[in-house]
Chain A
Amino acid sequence: MRWLCDFLNSSIGKKISVGLAGLFLCGFVVPHLLGNLLLFVGMAQFNAYAHFLQANPLTPAAELGLLALFLLHGTVALWARWQNWRARPVGYDTVASKGGRTIGSRTMTYTAFLVLAFLILHVAMFKYGWGSAFHDEELFQRVMDFFRNPWIAGGYALALIGLGLHLSHGFESAFQTLGVNHPKYTPFIKVLGVLFAVAVAGAFAAIPIWACFLGGAK
């Protein structure tokens, strides 16, 4: 299995690992978002969905798989970032882009840490009820209780804009990394990447904004 170690150790193998794990995480985000949008439908429907997930025997396995994907995505990317930092020990006095970088690609490391911090709080608050007054309330109630606080709602919206920026580069970049670059469909993937980032960030952020500032949590 030396070849597998060589693969994970190589610059191309690292980016393929990060890109592939990232695409799987994108695949997780879509059903998660669709489920959350049930908050807009009503309390009973959302709570029924939450009970269905909690009672499903496959849920713990899926959670472990998700954790493994996050760890792979994060640790390999961080390892690559460390090597990149070492690859230029003396930096430039003046740096001027000629047009390759985007705001999303420039901020990948920052948005990554923003999303990481957000995820830790997010799981602690909503899954384990950290900071909640009760520990046995229905999930709909817990969401609304948290989002009544404008600081929490604002912080959530901000972190989700960070996720959107991360996706605006990451989605398209993962396809390039997997060797998918062709004049017939690369322009489509680029547009799809931006639309995906805007849709995911916008729809997720709409929940705390609606709950806190538009009277959803009344």
Chain B
Amino acid sequence: MNAQEKTMDVTLRVWRQKGPDQPGRFVSYAAKGVTPEMSFFEALDTINEGLVAKGEDAIAFDHDCREGICGTCCLTIEGQPHGPDQAATGCQLHMRAYKDGDAITIEPFRARAFPVIKDLVVDRSALDRVMASGGFVSVNTGSAGEANAILVPKDKAEAAMDAAACIGCGACVAACPNASAMLFVSAKVSQFALLPQGGPERDRRVLAMQRQMDLEGFGNCSNEGECEAVCPKEVKLANIARLNREYIRAMFWSHEVHPKVDLEGQEE
């Protein structure tokens, strides 16, 4: 097969923004000679090489592992966080999804809690602060213990692993019509709530993480389900139902109250 026949020319319409408080706008770039085997990010790399050669500012976009495991990439491609593929991150998208002459709009993840740093890069440290508020187990684990010292039913272990598959990319927030972080928080609460080690702190944890989520300015969940549809790790809405159960349990059946926390996650 002649590789020359399979190249295509596409137009990338990219959000450019110099800094957090600067106005942004869309700029169109022609990507010529793109091959179907190229990853979407390689097409962006190609444009950036051209921009740098001309002495212009390269398009800033977050990426690290480029194999769908780190959760760093945060592009909204044609209105879909991570692009059109199911159960995949933006870095796993290939140009074979497009055809010659396509114009593709690329925007950053949009949410008040995810301020734009530059171009397509957003600050997702709000998710880290939610984790710091309660997404941990406060025990000194020491060296690895005997694996069967605490027995875990297989179905519970599987469900906890499915929740722990969350890579914290924030696509759920980006896709949610309300910019809610409920799927992320539910996955993080679930991975602990399902395991015996997470038991002692479960009430305190869910109240602290919920409070921090609200303080960060995320929206409210209205069960639209867009989060589940875009999640690259297929985290399920059932986790949000579990989060709600954990919250009801902590609120009405435990002695815990909401911790008073400031925006830095420090308890007052």
Binding site for B on A (CB under 8 A): 2-3, 6-7, 9-16, 80, 83-84, 86-101, 105, 108, 169, 172-173, 176-182, 186
B residues within 8 A CB of A12?
210, 221, 243-244, 247
Instruction: Report the minimum CB–CB distance from B27 to chain A (whole Å).
Output: 12
* Cβ–Cβ < 8 Å partners of A177 in chain B: 223, 244
Min CB distance A180 to B, Å, is 7
Contacts of B116 in A (CB 8 A): 90
**Known contacts A10-B210, A88-B219, A96-B78; is-contact A105 B224 (Cβ 8 Å):** yes
- A87 to B211 Cα, complex, angstroms: 16
Is B218 at the interface (CB under 8 A from chain A)? Answer: yes
Question: 10 closest pairs, A vs B, by CB?
Answer: A100-B225, A181-B241, A87-B219, A179-B245, A96-B79, A84-B178, A94-B79, A100-B226, A98-B229, A84-B219
Apart from A6-B258, A87-B112, A88-B110, what 9 extra A-B contacts exist at CB < 8 Å?
A3-B251, A6-B211, A87-B180, A93-B107, A94-B76, A98-B230, A176-B223, A179-B248, A181-B240
Q: Which of A87, A94, A96, A186 contacts B217 (CB 8 A)?
A: A87
The verdict on B214 contacting chain A, using a C-beta distance below 8 Å, is: yes
A91 to B257, CA, bound (A): 35
Cβ of B111 within 8 Å of any chain A Cβ, yes or no, is yes
B238 contact set on A, CB distance < 8 A: 181-182, 186
Inside 8 A of B224's CB, which chain A residues have their CB?
Answer: 100-101, 105
Q: Of residues B105, B175, B214, B223, which shows the largest number of chain A Cβ atoms within 10 Å of its Cβ? A: B223
In the bound complex, what is the Cα–Cα distance between A179 and B246 (angstroms)? 9
Q: What chain B residues lie within 8 Å of A169 (beta carbons)?
A: 223
With contacts A3-B257, A87-B113 known, is A92 near B240, CB below 8 A? no
In the complex, are the beta carbons of A101 and B226 less than 8 A apart?
Answer: yes
B110 with A13: CB separation less than 8 A? no
Are B240 and A176 in contact (CB-based, < 8 A)? Answer: yes
- Complex Cα spacing A26 to B243, Å: 25
Q: Is the CB of B93 closer than 8 A to any CB of chain A?
A: no
Q: Which residue of the partner chain, among A6, A84, A96, contacts B177 with CB atoms under 8 Å?
A: A84
User: Which of B105, B217, B228, B243 is in CB contact (< 8 Å) with A93?
Assistant: B105
CB within 8 A of B214: which of A10, A108, A172? A10
Give residues of chain B (218-266) contacting chain A, Cβ–Cβ below 8 Å: 218-230, 237-238, 240-245, 247-248, 251, 257-258
- State whether B220 touches A16 (Cβ < 8 A): no
Cβ-based interface call for B26 (8 A): yes
Whether A178 pairs with B220 at a CB distance below 8 angstroms is: no
**B131 is an interface residue with CB less than 8 A from chain A:** no
Shortest CB–CB separation between residue B23 and chain A, in angstroms? 10
Q: List 7 A-B contacts (CB under 8 A).
A: A11-B214, A87-B111, A89-B112, A94-B105, A101-B224, A169-B223, A181-B240
Residues of B within 8 A of A172 (CB): 223
Say yes or no: B220 contacts A84, CB within 8 Å: yes
CA distance A94 to B12 in the complex (A): 13
From residue B26, how far is it (CB to closest CB) to chain A in Å? 7
A98 touches B175 (CB 8 A): yes
- Cα A99 to Cα B224 in complex, Å, equals 9
B248 and A99 contact, CB distance less than 8 A: no
Asked whether A7 lies within 8 Å of B251 as measured between CB atoms, the reply is: yes
Pairwise interchain contact A178-B244, C-beta atoms closer than 8 A: yes
CA–CA, A28 to B244, complex, Å?
Answer: 25
Residues on A with beta carbons closer than 8 Å to the beta carbon of B214: 9-11
Query: B79: which A residues are within 8 A, CB to CB?
Result: 92-96
Q: Which residue of A lies closest to B178 (CB)?
A: A84
Given contacts A12-B210, A84-B220, A98-B229, contact A91 B237 (CB under 8 A): no
What A residues does B223 contact at CB under 8 A?
105, 169, 172-173, 176-177
Tell whether, in the assembled complex, residue B179 and residue A11 are in contact, meaning their CB atoms are under 8 Å apart.
no
In the assembled complex, the Cα of A44 lies from the Cα of B190 at a distance in Å of 58
Name the residue of chain B whose CB is nearest to the CB of A179: B245
Residue of A nearest to B211 (CB): A10
User: Per-residue CB proximity of B100-141 to A under 8 Å, as 1/0?
Assistant: 000001010011110010000000000000000000000000
In Å, the complex CA distance between A100 and B182 comes to: 15
Out of A6, A10, A181, name the residue touching B237 (CB < 8 Å): A181
Neighbouring A residues of B247 by C-beta, 8 Å: 10, 12-13
Pair A88/B111 contact, Cβ less than 8 Å: yes
A83 touches B248 (CB 8 A): no
